[in-house]
Structure 1
Amino acid sequence: MSASVAIDDYLKTIYHHTEWQDERITPSQLAATLGLAPSSVTEMVQKLAAQGLVTHRPYGPISLTPAGEHRAAATIRRHRLVETWLVREFGYSWDEVHDEAEILEHAISDRLLARIAERLGNPAFDPHGDAIPDAAGHVQRVPFVLLGAASPGHVGTVLRVSDRDPALLRDIEESGLDVGATVRVTADGVLVYEQPLTLPAGAGEAVWLTA
């Protein structure tokens, strides 16, 4: 892996961590997510800080600087546009696109990315409901709540389904739940268009609704 790609993967992971919750990522969490030794992560975080991409104090949480956030948003834009392109143009299912996009996000040119965005109509969200940053790094966000934290009686639109676990993603899709569906939370589960759904274990921590 080139140094540039490694930096982008670090910044992207830090950015992801606070997209759907407010707690900043710690070095140990970053190491676990990336599957790397804590000592390697500590060394890289120090390098990122020296380059002005993150702020960090020993054993404390890590934050992106404005420069780091801009670079991370650019990488995430590439990734999510590629995911959307693969689903719309090539018939990939939403649980198949992540690994492909991980490779292609580093391979396609800026010119091709611009053409892809134009062909897709400059989408604001990817197939999983994650926001696609625009060319300036800005994203559209609305207030949200995790399904598992929503109170009985809450009615909301499914904003996002996590793509972290492809098997869980497939099971959620097979249950009939999709991004954009209207959900009413009950004490026993959820109703979609007033029809009860049987969601797989783990769905409560992988689905986000409008607040």
Structure 2
Amino acid sequence: MQSFTEENYLKTIYSLASRQEGEVSTSALAEMTATKAASVTDMLRKLADKQLIHYKKYQGVRLTDEGERLALQIIRRHRLWEVFLVEKLGFGWAEVHAIAEELEHIRSEELVARLDAYLGNPQFDPHGDPIPTPTGKMPQTEYRKLSDVSTGEDVRLMAVLEHSTEFLQHLDHSRLTLGCSVTVAEINAFDKSVILHITNGQPVFVSHEVAKNLLVN
């Protein structure tokens, strides 16, 4: 059985690997986990000994089939708990990540199955991330970053890439919520910031950094 720390590493490796091609570097893991490189290396050796990752020093790391299966289970539990916290307990989407980080380590398959059924088998969490299926498949989405949308296009906000409390609170303040329809009214040629028109709302200024973390279709 894996420790909570080992589970967190598997989830983080999966997350980093999904954003790039090839192996995940030790330095990227150290940055993502806010851990010293030496400690990361020690953990990778443990995971390799358990045959959960493929790892060679200086060559990066990737999950084995078993490691990916476990990572998807953890992600599934995390995202289902986030749905529960928002829809059933009234938490805001900016409040649930840290709580779900604790709940995701409850390994009862029966509990997860009942939670899924109770929630109506949701396909997405409150941040728009797809929830892995019970058989360990990650649904694929075809979204674009708002930063890649052209002037005049009408799009719908579907998901966010950044889950920090500060970022989500900023979106709340800007009245940008999942499912809202927006029109890209203007793109600043200098800094790529965007002026959006929200349906039935006032124009909203969005920096390029924010636009890069909003996914639309």
Is 1:199 the equivalent of 2:198?
no
Deviations 1:176-202 (A, max 9, x none): 112222333341433333853223673
Q: How does 1:32-181 map to 2 (within 5 A)?
A: 32-107=31-106, 109-181=108-180
TM-score (norm 2): 0.85
Offset of residue 153 of structure 1: 4.1
For 2:20 and 2:153, how far apart are their aligned partners in 1? 22
- One-letter identity of the residue aligned with 1:9: N
* Structure 2 unaligned regions, length at least 5: 188-193
Change beyond 3 A, Cα 1:14–1:154: farther
Is 1:22 the equivalent of 2:20?
yes
- Equivalent pair of 1:162/1:169 in contact (CA under 8 Å): no
- Equivalent pair of 2:17/2:62 in contact (CA under 8 Å): no
Offset of residue 165 of structure 1: 1.6
Q: List 4+ stretches of structure 1 deviating above 6 A.
A: none
SS at match of 2:88: helix
Identity of aligned residues (%): 35
For 2:53 and 2:152, how far apart are their aligned partners in 1? 41
TM-score (norm 1): 0.87
SS at match of 1:70: helix
Bigger Cα displacement from structure 2, 153-162 vs 25-34: 153-162
SS at match of 1:198: strand
* Structure 1 unaligned regions, length at least 5: none
SS at match of 1:172: helix
- Equivalent pair of 1:191/1:197 in contact (CA under 8 Å): yes
- Equivalent pair of 1:73/1:137 in contact (CA under 8 Å): yes
For 1:132 and 1:202, how far apart are their aligned partners in 2? 26
**Larger Rg, first or second structure (1 or 2):** 2
Structural RMSD (CA):
2.2
Change beyond 3 A, Cα 1:49–1:156: farther
Change beyond 3 A, Cα 1:152–1:59: farther
Deviations 1:144-166 (A, max 9, x none): 22222334344433221235320
- One-letter identity of the residue aligned with 1:140: P
SS at match of 2:206: coil
- One-letter identity of the residue aligned with 1:54: I
- Equivalent pair of 1:124/1:139 in contact (CA under 8 Å): no
Bigger Cα displacement from structure 2, 7-16 vs 183-192: 183-192
Residue-pair matches, total: 208
- Equivalent pair of 1:95/1:163 in contact (CA under 8 Å): no
SS at match of 1:168: helix
Change beyond 3 A, Cα 1:192–1:64: farther
- Equivalent pair of 2:72/2:132 in contact (CA under 8 Å): yes
Bigger Cα displacement from structure 2, 147-156 vs 91-100: 147-156
Is 1:190 the equivalent of 2:164?
no
